[in-house]
Amino acid sequence: MNKVVGVKLKNFRCHEDFELSCNRSTTLIVGENGSGKTSVLEAIYLALRGKSFKGVDREILRRGAEFYRAEIFLSDAQTVVIRFDGAKKSFEVDSKKSLRLPKKNKYPVVLFEPDDLYLVGSSPSRRRDYFDDFFKQLDDSYGTSLSKYTKALKQRNDLLKNENVSEDDLFSWNVLCAHYGTEVLKRRISGLAKINEALTDNYRSIAKNEDVCRLDYLGDLDCDENKYIAILERNFERDRILGYSSYGIHRDDFEFVFNNERADGSASRGEIRSMILALKFIEAQVLEKETGKMPVVLLDDIFSELDSSRQQHLIDNFKKYQMVVTSTDGLKGMEVQAKL
């Protein structure tokens, strides 16, 4: 298992110069809100996944600085260096430079933010983004298909804004949207099945009751490429008036179901939080199984949102993984490695 053993930041968000040595089990970073705790997790995520979970490079660059650099030291003696010169970003792994983090150097990460606890009642786009990020870690081809779908959809939507657009103008984009859209759909359904296999059992281990929960996919489940194209063609006049594509996997949703009812409205706050905890535990389990690697777990100020019982479940279920934890206060049984 590869582990993060150190972090060194220069002009990374609010950090002019910052260094951290990480424990191989649990690393605790304590500081007030706005002190830069989350930025440390962001740098680790960037080095392991190749992208930020918060923003673009110009937002990461410290105000008034001309560049940023982040160095993440790993237990296999490997160092990942990310540089941004104000115009472009580069990655350097073992002295080999590239504009993107190579696939072979990506490592699974479970990120847990306070906003995740509100996933059940959030917008469909927020849920799509959440599960898309998870499924990308399970299958690189998922991210490729989703990216190509998004590009084809943009081209189709741009054409729909032209009042002189014809059905023929859209044909090639309809074909691409259908091809990549059905690829994404298949992988979403497959990924959701893996989650549902374990969701109720994980939930019951936290809640200590006999409730049942699952995730439903709200979309056209039996759609193939021919049907997809036919619907896009049938919707041409409507889409032309609207100026965008009204059908497609970009409008699908993931619904949490609790005891056969929609969780948003039927489950209590505590029940929903137990569902999200169960989902996070499953993420780690599935990533470990599918990738053969033990994910690094990043917990961003999440303990303040949970009661003592759920805090303990969080610690117990993630103790086999390396955890990097941020908090505004010290946590019982955890040694503070950095105070900001």
Is residue 206's pLDDT more than 80? Answer: yes
Per-residue pLDDT, 5: 95
In the chain, the number of structural domains is 2
Joined tokens for residue 214:
């699952």
Query: Do 288 and 302 reside in the same domain of the chain?
Result: no
Query: Do 126 and 268 reside in the same domain of the chain?
Result: yes
Q: Which residue has the tokens 């298909």?
A: 145
If one compares 169 and 339, the residue with the highest pLDDT of the two is: 169
Residue 285's contacts (CB-CB under 8 Å, 6 or more residues apart) are 198
The band of 330, judged by pLDDT with boundaries at 50, 70 and 90, is confident
Query: Do 211 and 162 reside in the same domain of the chain?
Result: yes
Contacts of 307-316 with C-beta under 8 Å, sequence gap 24+, read: 307/270, 310/206, 310/273, 310/274, 310/277, 313/205, 313/206, 313/277, 314/277
Query: Do 268 and 308 reside in the same domain of the chain?
Result: no
Q: Tens of pLDDT along 274-290?
A: 999 999 999 999 999 99
Query: Do 99 and 170 reside in the same domain of the chain?
Result: no
What's the rounded mean pLDDT across residues 66-85? 94
Q: Tens of pLDDT along 231-271?
A: 999 999 999 999 999 999 999 999 999 999 999 999 999 99
Is residue 336's pLDDT more than 80? Answer: no
* Residue 81 domain boundaries: 1-107+296-340
Query: Do 275 and 153 reside in the same domain of the chain?
Result: yes
Distance separating alpha carbons of residues 21 and 2, to the nearest angstrom: 15
Query: Do 134 and 268 reside in the same domain of the chain?
Result: yes
| CA neighbor of 274 nearest in space, from 213, 188, 335, 197 | 213
CATH number, position 192: 1.20.1050.90
Per-residue pLDDT, 331: 81
Distance separating alpha carbons of residues 95 and 33, to the nearest angstrom: 36
Residue 42's contacts (CB-CB under 8 Å, 6 or more residues apart) are 13, 52, 53, 54, 60
Distance separating alpha carbons of residues 176 and 94, to the nearest angstrom: 38
Per-residue pLDDT, 334: 79
What's the rounded mean pLDDT across residues 2-11? 95
Distance separating alpha carbons of residues 210 and 198, to the nearest angstrom: 14
Query: Do 247 and 206 reside in the same domain of the chain?
Result: yes
Q: Tens of pLDDT along 286-305?
A: 999 999 999 999 999 999 89
Is 0.75 topped by the overall pTM? yes
Q: Are strands 26-30 and 323-327 parallel, antiparallel or unpaired?
A: parallel
The band of 71, judged by pLDDT with boundaries at 50, 70 and 90, is very high
Residue 12's contacts (CB-CB under 8 Å, 6 or more residues apart) are 18, 39, 43, 60, 62, 68, 69, 70
| CA neighbor of 192 nearest in space, from 168, 214, 222, 159 | 214
Per-residue pLDDT, 338: 79
What's the rounded mean pLDDT across residues 172-190? 97
Query: Do 309 and 288 reside in the same domain of the chain?
Result: no
Could you tell me which residues are beta bridge partners of residue 326?
29, 300
Query: Do 203 and 330 reside in the same domain of the chain?
Result: no
Tell me the backbone φ, ψ of residue 338, rounded to 5 degrees: -150, 140
Distance separating alpha carbons of residues 329 and 340, to the nearest angstrom: 11
Query: Do 38 and 140 reside in the same domain of the chain?
Result: no
If one compares 17 and 94, the residue with the highest pLDDT of the two is: 17
Per-residue pLDDT, 55: 87
Per-residue pLDDT, 332: 77
Give the orientation angle of helix 225-234 with respect to helix 167-207, to 10 degrees: 120
Is residue 153's pLDDT more than 90? Answer: yes
Per-residue pLDDT, 172: 97
Kindly state the helix (H) or strand (E) to which residue 10 belongs, with its residue range: strand 4-12
The band of 230, judged by pLDDT with boundaries at 50, 70 and 90, is very high
Query: Do 145 and 284 reside in the same domain of the chain?
Result: yes
Per-residue pLDDT, 224: 96
CATH number, position 80: 3.40.50.300
Joined tokens for residue 140:
């690189």
Q: Tens of pLDDT along 9-45?
A: 999 999 999 999 999 999 999 999 889 999 999 999 9
Is residue 335's pLDDT more than 80? Answer: no
- Greatest CA separation for the chain: 67
Residue 282's contacts (CB-CB under 8 Å, 6 or more residues apart) are 194, 195, 198, 199, 202
Q: Tens of pLDDT along 182-199?
A: 999 999 999 999 999 999
